[in-house]
Amino acid sequence: MSSHQLPSYLDPNDLGPWGIYLQQIERVTPYLGSLSRWVETLKRPKRVLIVDVPVELDNGTIAHFEGYRIQHNTSRGPGKGGVRFHQDVTLSEVMALSAWMSIKNAAVGVPYGGAKGGIRLDPKTLNIKELERVTRRYTSEIGIIIGPNKDIPAPDVNTNEQIMAWMMDTYSMNLGSTSTGVVTGKPVALGGSLGRKEATGRGVFVTGAEAAKRLGIELKNARVVVQGFGNVGGIAARLFSEAGAKIIAVQDHKGCLFNESGFNIPELLSYSSQSGSIYNYPHGQAVSQDDFWSIESDFLIPAALENQITIKNANKIKTKIIVEGANGPTTPDADDILKDNGILVIPDVVANAGGVTVSYFEWVQDFSSFFWTEDEINQRLVRVMTEAFTAVWGVAQDKNVSLRTAAYIVACSRILQAREMRGLYP
């Protein structure tokens, strides 16, 4: 089937998230050698499940939400990927996120395939009991395809360890026995791992620091700009700050703040946690979104949502290293502009893989019922992230390609080698 005959939701000309992912695969195909005969495998999700999630709200009305669970590829192991609750969740987005999980897991070498889930809803419109009912109903609906050896959900946008606890409990009740390994990102009391909450932000810091070494950039007094001040951006900001860098600009869902001398990050994190935003924080100057992108820095960390750096703002960016904390924040056209402008981009599939790496540690600990200390986990995380970055950097230098293309060469080769060795059944 040629690309112009694909179903509409697989249209490579749809420059939604899935269209962007397909472009990325097109770019890496020439580097795959004999494995390229299998490349169509990467352009089709293995399994797409769309479910209706009906719940009774406290006011007695019945609300229906659309939910998804997509398994992109399971050649290297069970599906793995988060679940997001957001009013803008679409099929294209969840498909792309599941595919990026396949790439990410292969790029860092954890034995998982890629999956992703989501429900189209604004969780702020529901109270805690309604949210629990939505979570449990969704888990029951996707229960036919998830499991500790099949597909393991985790937290993502607007989901957390409490949501994971409800998902684990619901799956376990339907199974008839406790299954801690069905999700990761759980509370520690239910088999969660120490270090999981900080893992993605820590991975962003580790890969940023590795790139800085190679470019001769000192972390002390380095200027850092962070978009998104949640679990990823906030932790990355704290770790960069602890290493002596200055966080000079921060953006969240309510606005952007600038402080030439650098923010007191522990204080700003505390303020944001208490007020729900950095908005109105007194020790910073409000700046517009346009001006935010043009602030001069050594590191820019987009840690919000996808499609943030596009052809519209890429030329405004004045930084040395972009560390992608979010999934898919940069479009392919913007990638080309950044490359032409001499900006190094550490791609999401490497930079933000710390979360899934510690999720893998959690899953292993659940299977063995033997748990590691936080120091052990952090040491293992740093080792995995450093080795993954070094391998990708080596391919980029060897083939004279961007880090993103290099990461895709490493990951797609691993996935397609597994596909080829397994063969087709029946």
How far, in whole angstroms, is CA 266 from its chain's centroid? 24
The type of residue at 107 is: A
- The series of mean pLDDT values per 10 residues for the chain, 426 residues long, is 48 70 93 97 97 98 98 98 96 94 97 98 97 98 98 94 98 97 96 93 97 97 95 95 96 92 95 90 91 96 90 95 94 93 96 95 95 96 97 96 96 98 96
The domain that holds 251 is classified in CATH as 3.40.50.720
| CB 346, CB 203: distance < 8 Å | no
Question: Which phi and psi angles does 261 have, rounded to 5°?
Answer: -85, -5
**Reduced to 3 states, what is the DSSP secondary structure of residue 261?**
coil
- Domain-terminating residue out of 132, 152, 179: 179
DSSP assignment letter at 16: T
Residue 320 lies in a domain: yes
DSSP assignment letter at 216: T
Listed residue (186, 142, 141) closest to 163, CA to CA = 186
Which pLDDT belongs to residue 10? Answer: 53
- Tell me, yes or no, whether 49 and 83 share the same domain: yes
Tell me the C-alpha distance between 46 and 79, whole Å.
10
Distances 339 to 333, 378, 385 between C-alpha atoms, Å: 10, 32, 23
The type of residue at 89 is: V
Which pLDDT belongs to residue 353? Answer: 95
Listed residue (215, 24, 207, 55) closest to 136, CA to CA = 55
The range of the structural domain enclosing residue 255 comes to 197-351
Number of domains in the chain: 2
H helices within 109-160, ranges in order? 128-142
Residue 395 lies in a domain: no
**Reduced to 3 states, what is the DSSP secondary structure of residue 118?**
strand
Residue 392 lies in a domain: no
- Tell me, yes or no, whether 205 and 257 share the same domain: yes
Residue 201 lies in a domain: yes
Question: Residue 178 has which token pair?
Answer: 């406790």
The domain that holds 145 is classified in CATH as 3.40.50.10860
**Reduced to 3 states, what is the DSSP secondary structure of residue 314?**
helix
Which pLDDT belongs to residue 13? Answer: 53
- Tell me, yes or no, whether 253 and 140 share the same domain: no
Which pLDDT belongs to residue 109? Answer: 96
Listed residue (299, 76, 82) closest to 200, CA to CA = 82
Which pLDDT belongs to residue 16? Answer: 81
- Tell me, yes or no, whether 79 and 215 share the same domain: no
Which residues are the active-site residues? 116
- Tell me, yes or no, whether 337 and 202 share the same domain: yes
- Tell me, yes or no, whether 234 and 145 share the same domain: no
Residue 141 lies in a domain: yes
- Tell me, yes or no, whether 241 and 321 share the same domain: yes
- Tell me, yes or no, whether 210 and 159 share the same domain: no
Cα-based torsion angle of the residue sequence 47, 50, 54, 58 in order, rounded to the nearest 10 degrees: 90
Which pLDDT belongs to residue 131? Answer: 98
Tell me the C-alpha distance between 104 and 353, whole Å.
6
